[in-house]
Amino acid sequence: MELKTRKRWAIVILLVGLPVYLGVAWFLSNWIYDTWGRLPVLVEFALYVALGIIWVLPFRRVFRGVGREE
């Protein structure tokens, strides 16, 4: 994939995909809270760290090298 195409896809992912993922992550965390109550602090921290990292894994190839000049 060309650099220009990757840059465009990165913008689309950040402007459309990330807000959708944030909504899904918010729904998931609220569902866990409603089902089991408040989790221990370390488990809750690990959950939020995992949710913060998981969204970018499928898009590694798109974001790699986007900051470079053409």
Query: For 68, which DSSP code?
Result: S
Reported as a single tens digit per residue, the pLDDT across 25-45 is: 999 999 999 999 999 999 999
Across 34-61, average pLDDT: 91
pTM beyond 0.95, yes or no: no
**CA–CA separation, 28 and 3 (whole Å):** 34
Tell me how far the alpha carbon of residue 5 is from its chain's centroid: 20
**What pLDDT score does 70 carry?**
67
19 pLDDT above the threshold of 80: yes
Which structure tokens are listed for 16?
């459309």
**CA–CA separation, 62 and 55 (whole Å):** 13
